[in-house]
Structure formats: C-alpha cells, structure tokens
Amino acid sequence: MGETLLTVQNLSAWYSEQKRILSGFSFSLAGHEVAGLIGLNGAGKTTFLKVLSGLLPTFRSDGICFCGAPVDFRKQDFKLCRYTVFAEDNSFSYFTFREYLAYVCAAYGKEVTDVSELVQGFHFEEYTDTLLRELSTGNRKKAFLITAFALKPRLLLLDEPVNGLDFQSTEYLYQRILGYKEYGTVLFSSHILESITLTSDRVFVLEDGKIRQTFEGGQINAADIREALHDENDR
Amino acid sequence: MMKMTGKAFAKKLFGAKYERLSRTLLIDVIIFWGLYIAGFQVQVAASVRILMLSAFTAGVMWQALSSRDNAVELKHMLMLPHQPQEFVFSYVAVLGAYTVLTKTGLLLAVLLAVSAWKPIEMIGMVISMLHAVLMAAVVYSLRKYWYAGGIWAAAIVSVILFLGSGLLLDLLLFVNGFVAILILRKAEVYAFYQGESEKSHAVRQRKKASLWRYFFRYLSCHKNYMVNTAVMWCVAIVMPYFLRGMAGLSVVPVGFAILSLNTPICILLSCDRDLEQAVRFLPGQKRRFCIPYCLFIFSCNMAADMIFLLSWQMQNGGIAVSLIAGAVFFALQSAVLSVLLEWLYPIRNWKIESDLWHHPRKYVVPVVMLLLAGGASAWPALLYILLALLAVEIPVLLFICGRHPE
C-alpha cells in the first residue's frame, strides 16, 4: 500500500434533511490498495459512492482531502482521477460498447487502448458493436467494467460490481481487482462476502451510515465479517 | 383485488396521498377563473370543442398506455395472480382518471373559460372525454388490427364533424363507448403489456464515438419524436399561407418562434435519468455533451425554419438575407436556452413519460421565443439587437465551458 490517497472526516449525507443516510463517517484510503465496503441494505454504501462520484450535493464534512489537498468532488481535477461503475446504469444506451469506450476515453483525455484481453476475459466478444440498450443487465455491467479497467483511473469506485455477472466473469473480475493495485486504488461495495474476502486489503463494515468495524490483512476472514454483520443485524 | 390493483396504479400516478390530484384541480380552477375574469373570448363551434377534447384525451391516454414506466409497473403486477377482467378495468379506469383529471381537465378549463357554452353541452363534453379514454384503450389492446382501429377512429371523427353536437351525437358516443366496454371485457390483459422490443438494430462497427449519431439513433428509436418533427415540417410548409394575411413579412419571426416548439428533442436529459447522471459524473461534459446537443437542436429547428422560408418564398416571395439571419437567431437562441434549462433545471419529479411530454417547463423556451418574435414583428430593428446579443452570448458561454468544464 502507498501513501494516503483519500481522507474523509466526519461526513454526513442526506437525501432529505429529516433522515441522514451517512453521519459521522470517517475513513481513509491508501494508494494502491483494494478496500471493500460491506453492510446491510440501507447502511449507506451506495450513498457514499454517490458522494464520491459528485452526484449527491447534500453532504457536509469536516475535511476531505485527495492526495493531501482539499478536494471538490465536482471539480474537473478530481473527476479525471476517478471513475465509477454504478450498480445499475442505463446511460448512453444508444452507443455501442466501442463508441462508449471512445467517448469516455475522450472525456478523460486518454487514448483508446487495446481492450481485447479484457473483452475476452469478460466473454464480451459478441457484444462490442451492439447498442448498450440491447444488452442484458450482466452484459451492460461488463461494458462499464471493461471501460473502468481500460481507463485505469487512480481511484476506481465499483458499486455492487458482481451483481448480474456470470460465474466466469465474476472470477475474472476478482483477478482484475487484485491486479488493479498496480495502477491505483479500488473501493468497492458488495453484499457478497466472498468477493470482499478474496480481493480486499481492508474491509469496512458499515452500519447506520458509519463505519462500525475495520478488518485488515490477516484479520479478513469470512467468519469474523459474518459475525460483525450478524451483530449489526441484532443491534 | 380490483380495488388494490387500482389503488397501486393510482398512488403511482397521483402520489401516495393523491396530493397531485388536488394540486392539478386547483390549477385548473385558477386558470379557468383567470381567463374568465380577463374576459378573453373566442368563438369555438361545439363540434370543434368535442373534437379537441376527444383527440387530446385519446392522444394522452395512448401515451400513458404505451409509457415505458407503466410497462415496468405492469410487469410486476402481471406476475401476481389476478382476475384478467378486473385487472383490465381497474387499469383502464385509473389511467383514464389520470388522463381526464390531470391533462384534459386543463384543456376543458381553458375551453370553458374562453368560449360560450350551454350547460347541456357539458354532458356531451364529459361523454366525449370518457368515450375517448375507452376508445384509446380498446384500439391499444387490439393494435395488431391497427387498420381496423384507424377506420373506427376516422369514422368517429367524421360523425363528430358531420353531426356537430347535440343529443344524437351524445347518444352515438354513449353507445360506441358501451361497445368499447364490451370489447374490453374480452380484452387480453397481456395486450396492455408492451414488453422489451426484440428488434435489434444492426450497427456498423465504429471505433469513434459521435454524439450526433447518438442523437439520430435516439430520434429514430422514438417514433413519436420523429412524428413530432415531421409535423413541425408540415406546419412549416402550410404556415406561410395562414400568416401572409396578417402583416406581411414582419410576421415571419412569429413563424420561427412557432417552429421552435419541437419540444420532445429538448428534454433529452430530463427523460433519461441515467444519461443525466452519466453526463454529470463524467468529466468535461459541459463542452463534450452540451455543445453537440445544442447544435443538434439548432439543426432540427433550422431545418424547419428553412422549409418555412422556402415555402414563404414560393407562396409570397420577398425573403431577404435579414430573414435568414432571423431564422438563425431563433433556431440557435432557442437551442441554447433549451440546453441551459436541461443542464440547470432538468425536470425530475415526473411519474410517467406522459407527465414529461406535457410539463409546463417544456414550453418556457417557446414562450420566450414568441415574446421576442412579437417584439421583432412590432419593431424590426430589435432583430438586429438580438443578433448582436447572441453574438456576445455564444462566446461568453463557450468561455464559461472552457473555464469550468465540469
């Protein structure tokens, strides 16, 4: 793991003032690590990823720093350093995968690289020139995942990346997430314990909009995390 | 079961506490009194009133029936055990109530406020609206026999035009409505569910992304948007005939303003929430997305304006360069304002697509254009001032896009 990439202090986020989804949320991410977010439904995983993606303006924090400097999630400098794969995404549905990739690469100011290995790994060869709207949920997810790994941003945010993927593609995704440390940091949310234990250097267990427990290195095992989630359920 | 099905759809369309219904009815009353007190009156024949109410109601009902959001709702409802007949009637009843109370209600309020009518005619108007709801539902459920539906609808229009209004027409519409109910009793419930299209679009292998291609695909996949654009072009052809009697060439800007009314293409972000999320999340979209989008709307508007100018030249003559510059102004200014509105104030609180198609925000830009056109018609020098302002506005906006590309 490298130096600290992102720090968030005492973050609160809400959709309506009456109900805070995140509250007193503090955490940090190191460079070149894989961090997993796990929690029950409504714990705030997707909301946190939306805040980081600049899509939720209703939040407050005592300090957010990216590479040691204060950051605005909606500013171009930060946007160029991160890419998010959302749990459900039907955007740009009249582009084919190739066109979408070219469009996103242009937006990030990068050349379109050779993605044939990724396309093969995700078994996506047949669909590269099909409109995204005509793809199944799983294949659309693959299109966004391939784009994410081709883009290689410093911070890759994945919201429920395993949902909708077939067995082979899930295995390939785990390999890719593990290998991503070479390029940057991955923060991903998941309900699948296996996906977290197989790939993460650190695991954050979310409960009621806060991080309740953190597991690191050798502490990461399915039994302990399951117990933490059960405790959360019982509380 | 019928009650629960109806309630589920009604809550989706009218809000959890039916709050949307009272709000819309209040707006209708305000508009009625506002227009009534203003004393603005036009002569509208009873048959035209019936025809307007019928056509508008049937059109909105059709849009509601074919809405993609309803398809999602229907998919879940149809998965549960249900009584087909009860299901069809509660579904049609709720969509009909939504159409008549939240959409046609406004048209009715305007018609009642600005034209003279007798209380007895009110019965005919109510029957015509209910009849239109039933007809739209029946023809929709039997759309594989579209030609029969077309002939049936054409026959009704002919009867309305031929009979005008009165007891005989009311009776005929009532009987026809009853026939529609009988057909609906036998209607297959799955006929209302429009599943995913299996039609695959052959796309050539392309390695470059072009938003223009994206917009044209979008347009070609939304037949109603295509029809709307085609209708605007037809309006552009016939409008010189109607406008020439008014005030000669000075009225031409009004034509440009009317032709900026191709509103469906101006709500791309509002009607696609995922696309809106994507353009807000990806970097540099103010420039990469908004500028091509603005140019796309400009081209659509400009195409209609050019047809209008050609038609005017053939019918009346006298088109000068200044009018071509006027066309550029109205096409570009309306495109710029539409994109700015979409970027800054997208429409978010819509329940089904039909809400979006009749949302008042859609008409803000055409109204502004009409006001400017009115000014330019009364005082032609204003057009040059507007062109000069546009020449300043565009570089300023481009500069802002460059400075703040996010």
- Here the CATH number for the domain that contains residue A12 is 3.40.50.300
Quick check: B201 and A86 CB within 8 A? no
Quick check: A102 and B284 CB within 8 A? no
Average pLDDT, integer, range B204-226: 83
Asked if residue A205 belongs to a domain, the reply is yes
Instruction: Show the domain range for A22.
Output: 4-88+153-234
Optimal mutation site among A49, A52, A81, A94, interface B, most CBs of chain B within 10 A: A94
Give yes or no: residues B187 and B258 share one domain.
no
In total, how many domains does chain B have? 2
Asked if residue A137 belongs to a domain, the reply is no
Minimal-distance CA residue of chain A relative to B215: A94
Asked if residue A59 belongs to a domain, the reply is yes
Cα–Cα dist B359/B103, whole Å: 10
**Res A232: pLDDT:** 61
Quick check: A76 and B288 CB within 8 A? no
> Tokens representing B315?
């019918």
Model pLDDT for residues B87-120, shown as the tens digit of each residue: 889 999 999 999 999 889 988 998 898 888 888 8
pLDDT band at B84 (very low <50, low <70, confident <90, very high): confident
Residue B196, pLDDT > 60, answer: no
Question: Is some CB atom of chain B closer than 8 A to the CB atom of A120?
Answer: no
Quick check: B214 and A86 CB within 8 A? no
Give the residue, B74 or A126, on which the prediction is more confident.
A126
Which residue in A76, A91, A129 is closest to B284 by CB distance? A76
Asked if residue B16 belongs to a domain, the reply is yes
**Res B44: pLDDT:** 79
**Res B327: pLDDT:** 94
Asked if residue B204 belongs to a domain, the reply is no
A-B Cβ pairs (cutoff 8 Å, strict): 87
Residues of A whose CB is below 8 A from B203: 96, 129-131
How many separate helices (H) and strands (E) can be counted in chain B?
A: 20, 0
Asked if residue A138 belongs to a domain, the reply is no
Give yes or no: residues B77 and B159 share one domain.
yes
* ipTM confidence score: 0.86
Give yes or no: residues B187 and B241 share one domain.
no
Asked if residue B252 belongs to a domain, the reply is yes
Asked if residue B386 belongs to a domain, the reply is yes
pLDDT band at B199 (very low <50, low <70, confident <90, very high): low
| Measured torsion, CA atoms of residues B105, B265, B391, B309, in degrees rounded to the nearest 10 | -90
Residues of B whose CB is below 8 A from A91: 272, 274-275, 277-279
Asked if residue A102 belongs to a domain, the reply is no
Asked if residue A204 belongs to a domain, the reply is yes
Optimal mutation site among B68, B197, B214, B215, interface A, most CBs of chain A within 10 A: B214
Residue B153, pLDDT > 60, answer: yes
Q: Which range (A61-70, A197-206, B43-52, B251-260) has the least confidence?
A: B43-52
**Res A12: pLDDT:** 94
Give yes or no: residues B134 and B224 share one domain.
no
Quick check: B283 and A108 CB within 8 A? yes
Residue B182, pLDDT > 80, answer: yes
Give yes or no: residues B24 and B58 share one domain.
yes
In total, how many domains does chain A have? 1
**Res A93: pLDDT:** 92
Give yes or no: residues B259 and B378 share one domain.
yes
Give yes or no: residues B83 and B171 share one domain.
yes
**Res B116: pLDDT:** 86
Give yes or no: residues B176 and B274 share one domain.
no
Asked if residue B374 belongs to a domain, the reply is yes
Minimal-distance CA residue of chain B relative to A74: B406
Give yes or no: residues B101 and B242 share one domain.
no
Average pLDDT, integer, range B146-161: 86
Give yes or no: residues B168 and B230 share one domain.
no
Residue B138, pLDDT > 70, answer: yes
Selection from B230, B217, B310 nearest residue B262 by Cα: B230
Residues of chain A scoring pLDDT < 50? none
Given B160, B192, B224, which residue is the final one in a domain? B192
**Res B203: pLDDT:** 64
Instruction: Show the domain range for B49.
Output: 2-192
Residue B201, pLDDT > 70, answer: no
Quick check: B274 and A99 CB within 8 A? no
Question: Is some CB atom of chain B closer than 8 A to the CB atom of A208?
Answer: no
Give yes or no: residues B74 and B185 share one domain.
yes
Asked if residue B9 belongs to a domain, the reply is yes
Cα–Cα dist A152/A101, whole Å: 12
Asked if residue A20 belongs to a domain, the reply is yes
Give yes or no: residues B254 and B138 share one domain.
no
**Res B322: pLDDT:** 85
In chain B, % of residues over pLDDT 90? 36
Average pLDDT, integer, range B127-134: 94
Asked if residue A136 belongs to a domain, the reply is no
Model pLDDT for residues B336-349, shown as the tens digit of each residue: 999 999 999 998 87
CA distance, residue A221 to nearest chain B CA (Å) = 34
Hey, what long-range contacts does B82-89 have (CB within 8 A, 24 or more apart)?
B82/B1, B82/B5, B82/B189, B83/B1, B83/B2, B84/B188, B84/B189, B85/B185, B86/B1, B86/B2, B86/B5, B87/B2, B87/B5, B87/B189, B88/B141, B88/B184, B88/B185, B88/B187, B88/B189, B88/B192, B89/B2, B89/B184
